[in-house]
Amino acid sequence: MRNIAAIFQKEIKTYFTSPIAYVLAAVFLVITGYFFYGMTVTFSNECLYYMQYASRYGGMPPLNLNQRVIRGMFGLISFISLFIIPMLTMRLYAEEKKSGTMELLMTSPLRITETLLGKFFACFVLYAIIIGLTVLYQVILGAYGHPDWGPVFSGYLGVLLMGAAFIAVGIFASSLTESQIIAVVLGFGALLLFWVIGSAAIFTRPGAGKIFSYLSILTHMLPFQKGVIDTKDIIFFLGFVSFFLFLTVKVVESQRWR
């Protein structure tokens, strides 16, 4: 436990001393902020329009803040995570191998799993902080509107679980190579595959289609955005994380064998 904490602190410190975390957080805020602004303004214009409509003709179509703005925000956050996470994970192993500090970690009395968990949680916490910045938007919505808070919470839970899954894939990619560029490309490629694989279900045989859509991140992500927390989805993400962390341990172990 102490070892995991030591690696965790070191990784967090490295994240915050290098510009990458700040740059990514800034890019993330600019994009989400722009869309938040756009979606909210569109929504309020629609509301105004329909209010006039209602006063003239009576009756008002159901306009839902959750559906029109919040769900869209979570979709956007997930999509941006697809790009951000490989950039957060790329250096975790690749850089240690390139600079020779892997030799330090491997010859210190640390278990491979301890190093890995320290790195994983550090990246997860940084991701959670970046995602946490968007709570501001929810506060704004809460101040001027009446969102249904249930789907907001489930949305965040979903985004965090998905982030954990993305991070596990990203770390795995980083463990395969000494080059951060290759790590980021591999990580992004793999994530994109898990993102779109559900669409393949449309044109494959039903059996394979089922597997594909089960493996798709989106299949398990959408219920959270709608406010549905299903243990099956939680188990999927936790299993996904464990599987890729397990693969990473095996890769790091096997690199000793060469």
Which residues contact other proteins (rule: CB under 8 A)? 2-3, 5-7, 9-10, 13-14, 17-18, 99-111, 256-258
Query: Rounded to an integer, what distance in angstroms lies between the CA atom of residue 255 and that of residue 258?
Result: 6
| Shortest reach from residue 91's CB to other proteins, in Å | 11
* Residue among 77 and 90 whose Cβ is closer to other proteins: 90
| Shortest reach from residue 182's CB to other proteins, in Å | 21
* Residue among 7 and 184 whose Cβ is closer to other proteins: 7
* Residue among 111 and 210 whose Cβ is closer to other proteins: 111
| Shortest reach from residue 74's CB to other proteins, in Å | 34
Q: Torsion-angle region of residue 5: left (phi > 0), alpha (psi -120 to 50) or beta?
A: alpha
Query: Rounded to an integer, what distance in angstroms lies between the CA atom of residue 15 and that of residue 19?
Result: 8
| Shortest reach from residue 117's CB to other proteins, in Å | 13
- One-letter amino acid at 61 equals P
* Residue among 76 and 95 whose Cβ is closer to other proteins: 95
Burial class (CB in 10 A: 0-12, 13-18, 19+), 155: buried
Q: Within 10 A of 253 (CB to CB), how many other CB atoms are there? A: 10
Query: Rounded to an integer, what distance in angstroms lies between the CA atom of residue 54 and that of residue 244?
Result: 54
* Residue among 110 and 215 whose Cβ is closer to other proteins: 110
Q: What is the DSSP letter of 110?
A: -
> What are the φ and ψ backbone dihedral angles of 194, each rounded to 5 degrees?
-65, -20
| Shortest reach from residue 258's CB to other proteins, in Å | 7
- CB-based contacts of 247: which residues, under 8 Å, 6+ apart? 172
* Residue among 52 and 101 whose Cβ is closer to other proteins: 101
Q: Torsion-angle region of residue 100: left (phi > 0), alpha (psi -120 to 50) or beta?
A: left
Structure tokens given for 3: 């070892």
Structure tokens given for 190: 């793999």
| Shortest reach from residue 244's CB to other proteins, in Å | 24
